[in-house]
């Protein structure tokens, strides 16, 4: 990981206040929330590599996107004077489909490529930086993130040296206990400062083969919302569908 990050960093040059693209055939994405946990992201997108700590002005980070597992996931919302901190990654353009799939594109998240993502010096890249934002229809109140999800955010934020007050705000946010104990154990295996070792990867795969140890089902609200949206899309009154 350090060697890859260093090699990519050397490819970045300045033209005024613009950072020239990393290299041809590479995309850029801004990871905030749990996407700052590199080990988890790299398992989903193998070509992923760290580029820089990023900042998105005039937005704030919130935890209000209803997930399939019934918990809250990260989102951003416009807010004057606020800033969202995160990580800019590069990836092969061939891996865009894998990134879209891992981010739930079309299943609760939408993709923005016109947001003003900068590095800590206020410089911008000369190509779009992809940012995944919650579909407004999936934004809810009074739903908390699971503890393991908060752990991804906190470990990633601390590893990348984000401001202490930013980390403290996340740490103080209420959290819920994941009723799926197997998932909770699996998610806590991910290192956020590096790729997984072969041993860690084997442990995660072994955990996935176990039967779920579920206390209760918290995903019903997501299923009801998805069913409602699907019905509206196919209803004759909506003007869409067959």
Residue 128 lies in a domain: yes
CA distances from 54 to 36, 127, 196, 200 (A): 11, 14, 23, 28
Higher pLDDT, 221 or 240: 221
In Å, how far are 2, 142, 148, 212, 224 from 215, measured between CA atoms? 40, 20, 16, 9, 20
**Pairing mode, if any, of strands 109-112 and 129-134?**
antiparallel
Residue 15: phi and psi, rounded to 5, are -130, 95
**Residue 227, H or E segment:** helix 220-234
CB of 192 closer than 8 Å to CB of 41: no
Quick check: is 240 in a domain?
no
Whose tokens are 């779009």? That residue is 128
In a domain, 109, yes or no: yes
CB neighbours of 82 closer than 8 A, spacing ≥ 6? 57, 58, 59, 60
pLDDT 10s digits, 95-112 = 999 999 999 999 999 999
Is residue 241, in this structure, part of any structural domain at all? Answer: no
Residues 6+ apart with CB under 8 A from 3: none
The average pLDDT across 35-43 equals 95
Does residue 141 lie in a domain region?
yes
**169 lies in some domain:** yes
Partners of residue 146 on adjacent β-strands: 176
Mean predicted confidence (pLDDT) in 48-55: 96
173: which 2 tokens? 């946010």
Give the Å distances, CA to CA, from 24 to 128, 169, 240.
Answer: 13, 38, 39
How confident is residue 79, by pLDDT bands cut at 50, 70 and 90? very high
Task: Provide the domain limits for residue 41.
Answer: 2-225
Q: CATH number of the domain that 30 lies in?
A: 3.10.490.10
Instruction: Place 203 in a pLDDT band, splitting at 50, 70 and 90.
Output: confident
Q: How many domains does the chain have?
A: 1
- What letter would DSSP give residue 105? B
* 238, pLDDT greater than 60: no
Q: Which two tokens stand for residue 171?
A: 């740490």
pLDDT given at position 148? 98
pLDDT of residue 205: 80
Instruction: Assess contact for 209 and 202: CB atoms under 8 A.
Output: no
pTM of the model: 0.78
**Residue 233 falls inside a structural domain:** no
Is residue 92, in this structure, part of any structural domain at all?
yes
Per-residue pLDDT averaged across 195-204, rounded? 86
């Amino acid at each position: 990981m350090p060697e890859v990050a260093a090699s990519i960093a050397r490819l970045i040059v300045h033209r005024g206040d613009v950072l020239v693209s990393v290299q041809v055939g590479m995309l850029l994405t801004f990871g905030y929330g749990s996407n700052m946990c590199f080990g988890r992201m790299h398992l989903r997108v193998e070509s992923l590599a760290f580029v820089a700590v990023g900042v998105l002005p005039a937005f704030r980070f919130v935890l209000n996107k209803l997930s399939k597992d019934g918990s809250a996931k990260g989102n951003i919302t416009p807010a004057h004077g606020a800033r969202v901190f995160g990580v800019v990654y590069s990836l092969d353009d061939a891996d865009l489909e894998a990134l879209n799939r891992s981010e739930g594109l079309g299943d609760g998240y939408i993709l923005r490529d016109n947001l003003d993502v900068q590095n800590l010096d206020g410089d911008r890249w000369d190509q779009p930086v992809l940012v995944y934002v919650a579909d407004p229809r999936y934004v809810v109140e009074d739903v908390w993130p699971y503890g393991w999800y908060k752990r991804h955010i906190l470990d990633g934020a601390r590893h990348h040296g984000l401001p202490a007050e930013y980390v403290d705000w996340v740490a103080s946010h209420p959290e819920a206990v994941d009723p799926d104990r197997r998932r909770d154990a699996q998610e806590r295996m991910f290192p956020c400062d590096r790729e997984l070792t072969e041993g860690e990867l084997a442990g995660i795969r072994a955990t996935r083969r176990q039967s779920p140890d579920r206390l209760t089902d918290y995903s019903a609200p997501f299923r009801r919302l998805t069913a409602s949206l699907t019905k509206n899309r196919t209803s004759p009154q909506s003007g869409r569908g067959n």
